[in-house]
Amino acid sequence: MEDVTCKVLVIGAGPGGYVAAIRAGQLGLDTVIVEGQYHGGTCLNVGCIPSKAIIHAADEFEKAAHFAGESAIGVKAGKPEIDFAKTLAWKDGIVKRLTTGVGGLLKKNKARAISGWATFVDGKTVDVKENGSTHRIRAESIIIATGSIPVELPFLKFGDNVISSTEALSLSTPPKTLAVVGAGYIGLELGIAFAKLGTKVTVVEAMDKILPLYDKELTRPVEKTLKRLGVEVLLGAKAKGASKKGLDIETADGKAETVKAEKILVTVGRAPKTEGWGREKLVLDMDGKFIRIDDQCKTSMSGVYAIGDVTGEPMLAHRAMAQGEMVAEIIAGHSRRWDKRAIPAVCFTDPEIVSVGLSPEEAKSSGYEIKTQNFPFSANGRAMSMEAEDGFIRVVARADNKLVLGVRAAGRGVSELSTAFGLAIEMGATLDDIAGTIHAHPTLGEAFQEASLRTLGHALHI
């Protein structure tokens, strides 16, 4: 058994873990990071990055198919074909470049990477099994960054034709028929992508609306896309189990039906990975199924921190990254606190949806009197010239001092505006600040300025 001692031990090399290790190394802390599977975690390998690659390929294929028919802009092309094996190879190449890059960054910043699964012995010690040998690592500070896993339904166990998002991103060819269980962002992102690639998609959602975390106005443009693509959405329906023909369901009116499907994609959420690494050897306070943390990501045990999905919502890679960087600096003696108000959430559907800060309902329930208005992309010149008029940007601000509390947007490419939205809230911008900032013309970003002007009562282009 090899004994290793270090200042900082990071368990898990996902977005939060590897960023924590890189920053700790930059700060001169003797750092070890342990990962049992692959650098980059779910996000880089079987989540954020590969899914966006498949979504992009599907968008390009749909665009080519569009130009094979009648086109308002005069572009004509032949019927498109897709070499999906080549698409997957391209996607895998991107993943390899990024994960290799993570390994290089850890090495560059003198963070030692050990491959293997870590198991706690006590609050300062873990054992890591690697290629038949065991490392015993003792650290002054430990950062738990074990991430999350797809939720499995007891009556739809993963295997054979029942798949999670992980398997969906590695299918050798788009299935002819696909049943998606759950109309959250993962299910609709992948469902829309496969529909664009020619798959007949049926979405089964137990609630009475798609994307339950967003209001109806935001989801309406996505509903329009689903209809255009021929995606059947069964709301108020319950999945019951797999059968030879596909997915057995109970419809909203209580009828038993079967959705024909080659594959059943279960996307009903993700669960924190709190088992399998010796949590029972620790005395950690829990917040439901998550590890409880304070505003410095400290757990109930001295010297033990937790970051990312294992600590709760929102389960977002950039949240984990921000926490990882912060914890490394705290261990190095810096003064930092965690504030989640300006975390953007992006739904990469068609069109995209962005959420930052408070919604009108959330702001009112927090006791604020508010002003709120939106500006439609149908009145934005750049959107018109891109054939992307669906959607809008909405601003929520305090009525008394006009401080911006939240921004919501739906539209093509609005994910790229999320930084501006987050920055406005982070910097404490008011409606006057945004309205008074000269926005380049013609851009989609002008809709942010116009939404602020309209909330102030004097929009210029509507």
pLDDT of 303-316, one tens digit each?
A: 999 999 999 999 99
Read off the pLDDT band of 1 (50, 70, 90).
Answer: low
**Residue 401, exposed/middle/buried by CB under 10 A (0-12, 13-18, 19+)?**
exposed
Euclidean distance between CA atoms 256 and 26, whole angstroms: 59
Rounded to whole angstroms, the Cα distance separating 451 from 213 reads 22
Reported residue count of the chain is: 462
Q: Please give the backbone phi and psi of residue 289, each rounded to the nearest 5 degrees, phi first.
A: -90, 0
Q: Which two tokens stand for residue 226?
A: 């689903």
pLDDT value at residue 2:
77
- Residue range 29-45: average pLDDT? 96
Amino acid (1-letter code) at residue 93: G
Please provide the average confidence, as pLDDT, over all residues in the chain. Answer: 97
Looking at residue 253, what is its pLDDT? Answer: 96
Q: Is the pLDDT of residue 255 over 80?
A: yes
Rounded average pLDDT over 158-169: 97
Q: What is the mean pLDDT of residues 47-68?
A: 96
**Separation CA 368–CA 56 (nearest Å):** 40
Residue ranges in 197-232 assigned as alpha helix (H): 216-228
Mean pLDDT value of segment 57-80? 94
As a whole number, mean pLDDT of residues 167-189 equals 97
Q: Is the pLDDT of residue 213 over 70?
A: yes
Selecting among 66, 441, 458, 461, the annotated active-site residue is 441
| pLDDT band at residue 132 using 50, 70 and 90 as cut-offs | confident
pLDDT tens for each residue of 336-347: 998 888 999 999
- In whole angstroms, how far apart are CA 321 and each of 306, 308, 324? 12, 8, 5
Question: 3-class DSSP state for residue 28?
Answer: coil
Mean pLDDT score, 172-197: 98
Orientation angle between helical segments 317-331 and 15-26, nearest 10 degrees: 30
Q: What is the mean pLDDT of residues 17-40?
A: 97
- The rounded distance, in Å, linking the Cα atoms of 110 and 107 is 5
Beta-carbon count within 10 A of 307 CB: 33
pLDDT, mean of residues 182-210: 98
Per-residue pLDDT at 340: 84
pLDDT digits (tens, 9 = 90+) for 394-438: 999 999 999 999 999 999 999 999 999 999 999 999 999 999 999
| CB proximity list for 165: less than 8 A, separation 6 or greater | 46, 47, 51, 150, 186, 190, 265, 267
Q: Which amino acid is at 233?
A: V
pLDDT at 196 exceeding the cut of 80: yes
At 241-252, the pLDDT tens digits run: 999 999 999 999
Contact between 145 and 11 under an 8 Å Cβ cutoff? The reply is: yes
Cα three-residue angle 10-11-15, rounded to 5 degrees: 80
Query: According to the 3-state scheme, what is the secondary structure of 275-329?
Result: CCCCHHHCCCCEECCEECCCCCCECCCCCEEECHHHHCCCCCHHHHHHHHHHHHH
Q: Which residues contact 61 (CB under 8 A, 6 or more apart)?
A: 80, 82, 196, 197
Q: Determine the Cα–Cα distance for residues 248 and 264; give it in Å rounded to an integer.
A: 10
Is residue 449 pLDDT above 90, yes or no? yes
Going by their DSSP bridges, the two strands 290-291 and 304-306 should be labelled as unpaired
CA-to-CA distance for 84 and 90, rounded, in angstroms?
A: 10
CB distance 359 to 396 below 8 Å = yes
315-325 per-position pLDDT tens digit: 999 999 999 99
Query: 66 catalytic, yes or no?
Result: no
Q: What is the model's pLDDT at position 131?
A: 79
Question: What is the enclosing helix (H) or strand (E) of 55?
Answer: helix 48-67
Q: Is 395 helix (H, G, I), strand (E, B) or coil?
A: strand
Question: Distance between CA atoms of 199 and 30, rounded to whole angstroms?
Answer: 51
Q: How far apart are the C-alpha atoms of 184 and 162, rounded to whole Å?
A: 18
